[in-house]
């Protein structure tokens, strides 16, 4: 009789542990996915090394970084943009 009581008690403890583990995983909040836009608009002024505006088709490199200062870019793209006579462009 004593062995039966101990066996039932062990079974109940095991079942309660399994139920608690399932309950915790079911109640865990889902991770929210970051929303990344498909298109980012940007405008600026293209200047040469002497700060004189560039005009016509100019190759501009765009990059996104995880941190504000330095590091390896998470994304990098070169686009040919059309700059006006004052160097203004919009992409």
pLDDT at 12: 47
Question: How many domains does the chain contain in total?
Answer: 2
The answer on 47 and 23 residing in a single domain is: no
The answer on 51 and 19 residing in a single domain is: no
Confidence at 70, pLDDT banded by 50, 70, 90: confident
> Distance between CA atoms of 31 and 22, rounded to whole angstroms?
18
Task: Establish if 38 belongs to a structural domain.
Answer: no
Could you tell me if residue 40 is left (phi over 0), alpha (psi between -120 and 50 degrees) or otherwise beta? beta
| Distances 28 to 11, 20, 24, 56 between C-alpha atoms, Å | 26, 12, 6, 55
Q: Which domain holds residue 6?
A: 1-28
The answer on 47 and 24 residing in a single domain is: no
- Which pLDDT tens digit goes with each residue over 11-69? 446 555 545 555 555 555 566 667 777 888 889 999 999 999 999 999 999 998 988 88
The answer on 52 and 23 residing in a single domain is: no
pTM, full prediction:
0.54
């Amino acid at each position: 009789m004593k062995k039966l009581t101990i066996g039932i008690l062990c079974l109940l403890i095991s079942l309660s542990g399994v139920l608690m583990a399932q309950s915790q995983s079911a109640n865990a909040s889902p991770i929210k996915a970051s929303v990344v836009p498909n298109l980012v608009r940007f405008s600026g002024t293209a200047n040469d090394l002497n700060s004189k505006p560039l005009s016509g088709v100019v190759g501009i490199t765009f990059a996104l970084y995880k941190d504000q200062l330095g590091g390896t870019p998470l994304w990098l793209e070169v686009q040919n943009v059309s700059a006006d006579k004052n160097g203004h462009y919009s992409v």
